[in-house]
Amino acid sequence: MKRIFIFGILFMLSHFVEAQCSFTATITPSAISLCPFRSDTLFTETADSYQWFKNGVPVNNNNLPYLVVSNPADNNASILVVQTINGCSESSTPVTVTGISLPAMTITIDGALSGNACLGDTVGLTLNSGQTQNITWFRNGNPIAGQTGTSINIVQAGNYSATGAIAACPSNTQFSTDVPLTFTNAPVPLIFENEAAGTLSTSASGQSYLWTVNGAPIDTTTAVIFPPSAGQYTVTVQYAAGCFRSSAPYEFQGFPIICDHDPIVNGDLLICPNGETTLSTAQADAYQWFVNGIAVAGGNESTFVVSSIEAGSNISVGVTLNGCTEVSPEVTPLIYFFAPVSLFANGNPEAVCAGDSIELVLDAIGASVSWLQNGIEQTDLQGNTVFVNTSGNYSATVVNAFCPLLSQTTNEILVTTVSNPIPEISLQGSSIVCSTAAASYEWSLNGNLVPGLNSATILAQPGIWTVTATYSNGCSASSAPLDGSSIGFELVSDGLMLMGPNPCQDQVHLRARSGLLRVFGSDGKLVFQENIPNGIICLNTKNWTAGLYFFSWENQAERGSFLLVKQ
């Protein structure tokens, strides 16, 4: 290897000294920068022969007008080419292959301390390492639709990351590390009075607190303060995530003189419609009742009657004991609200089939329930759920369980019973015919439903037949059985015998002598035809459509037939 390297240098020096060729060897491009794991081609002009050199070392077997270079294999390599035309050799100016380095992909965070922000705030994430191409942002490993810029605004927690590339190497995708973001609840603080303790406090739990009264700061940073005077108070709370929230102004009137007794209002606070409730307080020297803060004339007893008309009003009482008067907290009597009671039918009440019943359901529980049919009480109907089978307008009257003087009547439900004729069937030639018009038919043979038979007329077969007719109103009725034992099918000797099963599902076995066997569907189409040998054969019926099939067999001396039901 050392000898090749020395030879290359001597070769170049000899050509540099002696070369006086009529052409100039050049390399295009004259400068080249390669992205990581990328390659490109250096070209030179057409000549008789070429010798490329990399860092002064000849490139073996490269008598071509171009040379492919790559990063990192040729990073910082010096490349030149020696051209030979008509025996004269000329060397080009060297070209240096420069490798582009990719900066580490990093993300800066704006609006979060140590990855924690306040709920309701916005956090900004920005790529600050030069990646501007093919950017995709991710949350918890999932792409965020529409976010392809170098910055993104975040309002919800998650692990965020991005992929992208620098402009010089757009195909070299880089991946950032995950940026975990959490959002801490930072509610707007509320201010409360504690009359017994003589304090104002905030509900918010933060790191620091700034109180003001009438706009002037108070020299305290705690959640609880002793208010220096009456006035308008605010508190601003700083949360651990670094954000601030300020309360609404709170008007503090000052604490009243506190008596030794704490009056309260006692009594039932729920009033029945058109009823009343009696409120009371403890025995004292004097009383004054208030409705919505207004003193009630004559309301000077320990008890106070509130009617349903006054429901929703704020009631309090001023109690005087030993010369000190204190007003109780307000209470608000409310009227019982009862939603209208409703009656529902479990099914279609306008088409109750004869012989069936329909369930009527009451959606309320009362002290007692009276059921009405056409306005007349039905004593045989009891409870919240009843079953009826006769036509009429049904409703119920409910006595309220909480207010016995209140009764409510439900909506009416019209129940109509529908009678339909019993379908009649008869044997007519080789067919069984249902003479009763209906919307659909279902035929059964020997108690088994025959799939696919849904017309009024079917091909006859020995056995006990019935039909169930369904009418346009949804009601159904079944015919009397028809004994089809008189229906004959040819059977000569034992030339053809059905071995079963009948009805069948996937296959059927039969024994026959050699002859032509054909099978027809109920629509008359041929579904099977084959000359069969003597013995027992098995037919695969798995792919046959459910329904009735006619088997016909014959040879020169005899013939036979039967019907098969495919389920």
Alpha-carbon gap, residue 122 to 118, rounded angstroms: 8
Give the residues across from 351 on adjacent strands: none
Annotate 129-156 with b (16+ C-beta within 10 A) or e (fewer): bbbebebebbbeeeebeebeebebebee
Alpha-carbon gap, residue 157 to 117, rounded angstroms: 9
pLDDT, mean of residues 470-478: 84
Query: pLDDT for 114-150, tens place per residue?
Result: 788 888 888 999 998 889 999 999 999 999 999 999 9
**Composition of the chain by helix, strand, coil, percent to 5:** 5, 50, 50
- What is the per-residue pLDDT for 347? 85
- What is the per-residue pLDDT for 429? 65
Distances (CA, A) of 278 to 62, 183, 301, 307, 317: 112, 51, 12, 9, 13
Alpha-carbon gap, residue 392 to 413, rounded angstroms: 8
Arithmetic mean of pLDDT over the chain: 85
**pLDDT(458) > 80:** no
Alpha-carbon gap, residue 79 to 26, rounded angstroms: 11
**pLDDT(561) > 90:** no
**pLDDT(491) > 50:** no
Q: Tokens representing 521?
A: 């569907």
- What is the per-residue pLDDT for 165? 92
For 49-63, 193-207, 546-560, which range has the lowest pLDDT when averaged over its residues? 546-560
Alpha-carbon gap, residue 464 to 479, rounded angstroms: 12
- What is the per-residue pLDDT for 8? 45
DSSP state of 421: P
Q: Where are the alpha helices (DSSP H) in 85-163?
A: none
pLDDT, mean of residues 539-567: 82
Alpha-carbon gap, residue 45 to 52, rounded angstroms: 13
Q: Tokens representing 545?
A: 């459509």
Alpha-carbon gap, residue 299 to 293, rounded angstroms: 13
- What is the per-residue pLDDT for 3? 38
Give the residues across from 325 on adjacent strands: 320
Question: Burial level of 310, CB count in 10 A (0-12/13-18/19+)?
Answer: middle
Confidence at 499, pLDDT banded by 50, 70, 90:
low
Confidence at 229, pLDDT banded by 50, 70, 90:
confident
Query: pLDDT for 381-435, tens place per residue?
Result: 888 899 998 899 999 998 887 777 778 888 999 998 887 888 999 887 667 889 8
Query: pLDDT for 267-321, tens place per residue?
Result: 988 888 878 899 999 999 999 999 998 999 999 999 999 988 888 899 999 999 8
291, 314 in Cβ contact below 8 A? yes
Distances (CA, A) of 493 to 47, 243, 515, 563: 103, 102, 14, 18
**pLDDT(69) > 90:** yes
Give the residues across from 133 on adjacent strands: 165
